[in-house]
A and B are shown apart, each in its own frame.
Chain A
């Protein structure tokens, strides 16, 4: 795991370490079981196409969980993910690179915590932000 990040080291505009994903259809099945979302558009190609989709698509909630992993890995053992969310604007597909990214948009102290605000998103190979959103995390202070 990476070194612990501290509130004082973070500046507005900083990009946090990216998290690269590429889901196999097998991973989508594992996610269906892990999340309880068994909607067939995520693993049954015929069903997906019957609803008008070109093929099976990645669960939106899995993309949200990917962004959560990116934040968890960044804040480290002493940090805390407080709020994170995203909108599922664009579809993402299996066997395709999906990059999770985040940029610091603000810092503030509140309720005794050192809070960092971020824009977060998943990005497809065309550079489109398929799941844009925001997050608030708490980081430890060096003081």
Chain B
């Protein structure tokens, strides 16, 4: 007995479409707040003098910190991705990978991120049919250089 696919042509059409660029700010308060929340003890994430002595222009970002998207309640809520109407109401985070490039990311940087759905697949799980979405977000700094790529997996069920 074959199961009909939950992935429609409409869904497939969004694969590869880049979202509108999102402005992301990197500031000292957010770097410290993130580092503190994780429990980092390296002073480089908290003390600007230590960061500069180590050759950074300002506080560097801890691993997995890529700035704060600019929030504005007066703008319509925007989806991070070119999205689709999903039959599922629940979503779980399946995993994250961050790849860094040559440039450091430090407080004072202004990043722009664009995201896309890289892949859609489906699985039968213990919770029933599941939609697996692989996202990709590319972060560029104010010089236009790619500083990081985030690859994430979402599981809708």
Binding site for B on A (CB under 8 A): 1, 21, 27, 30-31, 33-36, 51, 59-62, 64-66, 68-69, 71-73, 77, 80-88, 131, 133
Binds A, one of B34-42, B115-123, B138-146: B34-42
Chain A residues near B137 (CB-CB < 8 A): none
Contact across chains for A82 and B100 when beta carbons are under 8 A apart: yes
- Expressed in whole angstroms, the minimum distance between the Cβ of B22 and any Cβ of chain A is 12
Residues of A within 8 A of B99 (CB): 82-83
16 CB-based A-B contacts, threshold 8 Å: A1-B42, A34-B30, A34-B37, A61-B64, A64-B96, A65-B62, A69-B62, A72-B40, A72-B62, A83-B97, A83-B99, A85-B95, A85-B97, A85-B151, A88-B92, A133-B97
What is the interface residue range for chain B against chain A?
A: 20 to 34
Scoring B30, B63, B69 by chain A CB atoms within 10 A of each residue's CB, the highest score goes to: B63
Quick check: A69 and B39 within 8 Å, CB to CB? yes
B86 part of interface (Cβ distance < 8 Å): no
Closest A residue to B44 by beta carbon equals A77
